[in-house]
Amino acid sequence: MSLLVVGSIAYDTVETPYGKVEDSLGGSALYFSAAASLFCPVNVVGVVGSDFDASKISFLKKRGVNFDGLYMESGHTFRWGGRYYDDMNKRETLFTFLNVFERFQPRIPENYQKAKYVFLANIDPELQLEVLDQIKKPKLVALDTMNFWISGKRSELDKVLKRTDIIVLNDEEAKELTDEFNLIKAARRITELGPKSVIIKKGEHGAMLYHNGHFFFSPAFPLEKVVDPTGAGDSFAGGFMGYIARANKQDFRTLKRAIIYGSTVASFNVEDFSFKRLENIELKDIEERVKIFKQLMAF
Ligand code: AMP
Q: What is the CATH number of the domain that holds 50?
A: 3.40.1190.20
| pLDDT recorded at residue 89 | 81
Q: Does the Cβ of 16 fall within 6 Å of ligand 1?
A: no
Task: Point out the ligand 1 atom lying closest to the alpha carbon of residue 79.
Answer: 12
Distance, in Å, from the CA atom of 205 to the CA atom of 120, rounded to the nearest integer, reads 24
| pLDDT recorded at residue 208 | 97
The total domain count for the chain is 1
Selection from 1, 2, 3, 6 nearest residue 107 by Cα: 6
| pLDDT recorded at residue 229 | 96
Indicate the top mutation candidate among 6, 11, 14, 28 to test ligand 1's pocket, ranked by most ligand atoms within 8 A of CB. 28
**Is the whole model's pTM more than 0.75, yes or no?**
yes
Q: Does the Cβ of 89 fall within 6 Å of ligand 1?
A: no
| pLDDT recorded at residue 80 | 97
| pLDDT recorded at residue 256 | 97
pLDDT for 257 beyond 90: yes
Domain of 164?
3-297
Residue 90 alpha carbon to ligand 1 centre in Å: 14
Q: Which sign, positive or negative, has the C-alpha torsion 250, 209, 202, 47?
A: positive
The percent of residues in the chain predicted with pLDDT above 70, rounded, is 100
Q: Which tens digit of pLDDT belongs to each residue from 16-46?
A: 999 999 999 999 999 999 999 999 999 999 9
Task: Point out the ligand 1 atom lying closest to the alpha carbon of residue 237.
Answer: 3
Q: What CA–CA distances, in Å, run from 251 to 64, 119, 263?
A: 26, 18, 18
Q: Which tens digit of pLDDT belongs to each residue from 190-236?
A: 999 999 999 999 988 999 999 999 999 999 999 999 999 999 999 99
Residue 214 alpha carbon to ligand 1 centre in Å: 30
Q: SS3 for 93?
A: strand
Query: Going by C-beta distance under 8 Å and a sequence separation of 6 or more, which residues neighbour residue 38?
Result: 63, 239, 242, 265, 281, 282, 283, 286
The overall average pLDDT reported for the chain is 96
| pLDDT recorded at residue 2 | 85
Selection from 7, 39, 44 nearest residue 245 by Cα: 39
What is the pLDDT averaged over residues 254-262?
97
| pLDDT recorded at residue 113 | 93
| pLDDT recorded at residue 1 | 74
By alpha-carbon position, which residue is closest to atom 21 of ligand 1?
A: 8
pLDDT band at 252 (very low <50, low <70, confident <90, very high): very high
What is the pLDDT averaged over residues 116-126?
96
CA 214 to mean position of chain CA atoms? 23
Task: Point out the ligand 1 atom lying closest to the alpha carbon of residue 78.
Answer: 12
pLDDT band at 135 (very low <50, low <70, confident <90, very high): very high
How many of the other CB atoms lie within 10 Å of CB of 54? Answer: 11
Order across the sheet with 19-26: list the strands: 19-26, 10-16, 78-84, 91-97
What is the pLDDT averaged over residues 52-56?
96
Indicate the top mutation candidate among 11, 32, 122 to test ligand 1's pocket, ranked by most ligand atoms within 8 A of CB. 122
| pLDDT recorded at residue 47 | 97
